[in-house]
């Protein structure tokens, strides 16, 4: 018998059905084949954050669909190539076997499964907002009913109770609304509400929309709201940060990229929260050469200095989709003296690390 060497093999050997989701940059599905390639170190983790893989394992018993799936939240450190450090995975599995035993059978170990990650250093607990978004996506994907807060959220985003009545909305309802953006006329409902929303519910819906592919009407509404914010005497950086996150998966990348380029031309874009939102949620825009160059210039004059520049640049160079474009950007001759100095300091820090 072939020995079990991966976490996926161990769990599936007991008849358990697994689903994989990234929990770091966005809440997004990871194909089973892609996760297995990652476990076998045949491929880097697709969406690393802070040199770690942050993911959720959704564990289902195919023999009893009445039982809600169980979710484990795990983070593994990555090597210099963004691949799994197998020693960490093996350490995780050792502790798991200690708690569960070697023979795992679906439906027989529910109580033990619930506490299997107790005191495990590779487990983590997401923020409540992320849990709400994950739950909303799961129920929507399974065709299950939304939470009891969903109808109230729809009514609020229709403007019925009044825009100032946002404090009465349950966050789970907003997450359900975003996860069902393609249902119940929600795209039209959200797009029509964006010009009127006060900052707190606007930020909440944007933080949920970052996990979804949003249609053009919502993307355009978010871009228009951002442009009006930039025209104000004191542009609200918290609102702008949320809008960048909300528009990050626009069905029209051109709308997103145009907004971010205009934002980078504004002095407020030297703020670390805005720069971090672009790198952490809208990183695909940095594959565009002109936008990438402007981003690096702003990153070099960020309000927190060289350490922040180093952290963001290191994170982007670790991300597969931005690694090669960023490497090209660092070699670009047409750049300011400030950016050249920041890049030099970055490489000095890398050599001394």
Residue 152 in tokens: 């109230």
Confidence label for 350 from pLDDT (cuts 50, 70 and 90): confident
Say how far apart CA 136 and CA 211 lie, in whole Å: 11
**Does one domain contain both 219 and 291?**
yes
Element at 334 (helix H, strand E) = none
Residues for the chain: how many in total? 353
Predicted confidence band of residue 317 (pLDDT cuts 50, 70, 90): very high
pLDDT digits (tens, 9 = 90+) for 223-232: 999 999 999 9
Across the strands, what pairs with 71?
Answer: 58
Q: Are residues 195 and 322 in the same domain?
A: no
DSSP state at residue 144: P
Instruction: Please check whether residue 122 lies inside any domain of the structure.
Output: no
266 shares a domain with 256: yes
Give the integer Cα–Cα distance in Å for 310 and 122.
26
Q: Domain range spanning residue 319?
A: 213-353
pLDDT in tens, 57-105: 998 877 666 667 889 999 999 999 999 999 999 999 888 888 776 555 5
Tokens representing 12 are 């599936």
Q: Which pLDDT does position 327 carry in this prediction?
A: 93
CA gap 146, 142 in Å, rounded: 11
The torsion angle over the Cα atoms of residues 302, 307, 313 and 317, rounded to 10 degrees, is -170
Asked if residue 198 belongs to a domain, the reply is: yes
**Percentage with pLDDT > 70 across the chain:** 93
* Whole-number pLDDT of residue 61: 73
Q: Are residues 243 and 303 in the same domain?
A: yes
Burial 171-196 (b: 16+ CB within 10 A, else e): bbbbbbbbbbbeeeebbebbbbbbee
Token digits of residue 113: 């499964």
pLDDT of residue 1 exceeding 50, the answer is: no
Residue 121 lies in a domain: no
Clarify whether residues 194 and 84 are in a common domain: no
How much of the chain exceeds pLDDT 90, in percent? 78
Q: What is the pLDDT of residues 208-218, one digit of tens each?
A: 999 999 999 99
247 and 170 housed in the same domain: no
Residues 279 and 262 in one domain: yes
Task: For residues 308-333, give the mean pLDDT.
Answer: 93
Cβ neighbors of 278 (< 8 A, separation 6 or more) are: 244, 260, 285, 286, 295
User: Do residues 184 and 231 both lie within one domain?
Assistant: no
Higher pLDDT, 69 or 345: 345
Q: Which residues contact 245 (CB under 8 A, 6 or more apart)?
A: 206, 207, 209, 210, 277, 281, 282
Task: State whether 226 and 346 are in the same domain.
Answer: yes
Work out the pLDDT band at 41, boundaries 50, 70, 90: very high
Question: Which of 168, 191, 212 is where one domain is finished?
Answer: 212
- Count of beta carbons in the 10 Å neighbourhood of residue 352: 6
Range of weakest confidence among 101-110, 215-224, 271-280, 296-305: 101-110
Domain boundary pick from 197, 212, 227: 212
Q: For residues 227 and 261, state if they share a domain.
A: yes
Does any domain span residue 199?
yes
What is the reported pLDDT for 66? 60
Reply yes or no on whether the pLDDT at 139 is more than 80: yes
Total domains, the chain: 3
In a domain, 329, yes or no: yes
**Quick check: is 296 in a domain?**
yes
- Whole-angstrom Cα distance, residue 222 to residue 218? 6
Query: How high is the pLDDT of residue 69?
Result: 81
Summarised one tens digit per residue, pLDDT across range 149-189 is 999 999 999 999 899 999 989 999 999 999 999 999 999 99
Q: What does the pLDDT average to over 221-246?
A: 97
Q: Judge whether 224 lies within some domain.
A: yes
- On whether both 60 and 164 belong to a single domain, the answer is no
Vertex 69 angle, CA 68 and 70, to 5°: 115
Q: Are residues 320 and 294 in the same domain?
A: yes
Q: What is the pTM of this model?
A: 0.92
The contacts of residue 327 (CB under 8 Å, 6+ apart) are: 317
| Residues 41, 76 contacting (CB under 8 angstroms) | no
Q: Indicate whether 1 belongs to any domain.
A: no
Res 115: pLDDT: 75
Phi first, then psi: what are they for 292, rounded to 5°? -60, -45
- What is the average pLDDT value for the chain, to the nearest integer? 91
Backbone angles phi, psi at 144, to 5 degrees: -85, 160
Q: Which H/E stretch holds residue 72? A: strand 70-77
Distance between CA atoms of residues 19 and 11, nearest Å:
11
């Amino acid at each position: 018998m072939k020995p079990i060497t991966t976490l996926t093999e161990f769990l599936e050997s007991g008849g358990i059905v697994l689903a994989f989701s990234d929990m770091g940059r966005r809440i997004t599905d990871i194909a089973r084949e892609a996760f297995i390639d990652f476990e076998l170190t045949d491929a880097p983790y697709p969406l690393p954050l802070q040199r770690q893989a942050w993911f959720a394992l959704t564990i289902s018993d195919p023999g009893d669909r009445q039982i809600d799936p169980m979710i484990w939240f795990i983070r593994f450190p990555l090597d210099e190539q963004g691949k799994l450090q197998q020693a960490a995975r093996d350490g995780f599995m050792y502790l798991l076997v200690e708690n569960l035993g070697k023979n795992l059978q679906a439906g027989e170990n529910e109580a033990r499964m619930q506490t299997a990650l107790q005191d495990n250093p590779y487990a983590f607990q997401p923020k409540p907002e992320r849990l709400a978004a994950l739950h909303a996506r799961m129920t929507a994907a399974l065709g299950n009913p939304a939470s009891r807060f969903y109808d109230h959220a729809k009514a609020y985003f229709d403007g019925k109770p009044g825009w100032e009545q946002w404090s009465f909305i349950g966050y789970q309802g907003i997450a359900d609304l975003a996860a069902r953006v393609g249902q119940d006329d929600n795209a039209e409902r959200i797009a029509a509400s964006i010009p009127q929303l006060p900052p707190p519910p606007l930020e909440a819906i944007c933080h949920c929309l970052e996990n979804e592919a949003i249609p053009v009407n919502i993307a355009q509404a978010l871009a228009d709201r951002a442009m009006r914010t930039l025209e104000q005497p004191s542009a609200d950086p918290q609102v702008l940060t949320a809008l960048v996150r909300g528009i990050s998966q626009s069905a029209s990348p051109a709308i997103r990229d145009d907004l971010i380029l205009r934002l980078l031309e504004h002095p407020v874009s030297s703020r670390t929260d805005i720069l971090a939102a672009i790198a952490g949620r809208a990183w695909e825009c940095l594959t565009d050469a002109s936008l990438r160059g402007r981003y690096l210039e702003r990153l070099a004059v960020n309000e927190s200095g060289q350490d922040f520049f180093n952290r963001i640049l290191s994170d982007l160079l670790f991300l597969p989709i931005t690694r090669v474009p960023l490497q090209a950007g660092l070699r670009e001759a047409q750049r300011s003296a400030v950016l050249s100095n920041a890049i030099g300091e970055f490489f000095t820090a890398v050599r001394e690390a």
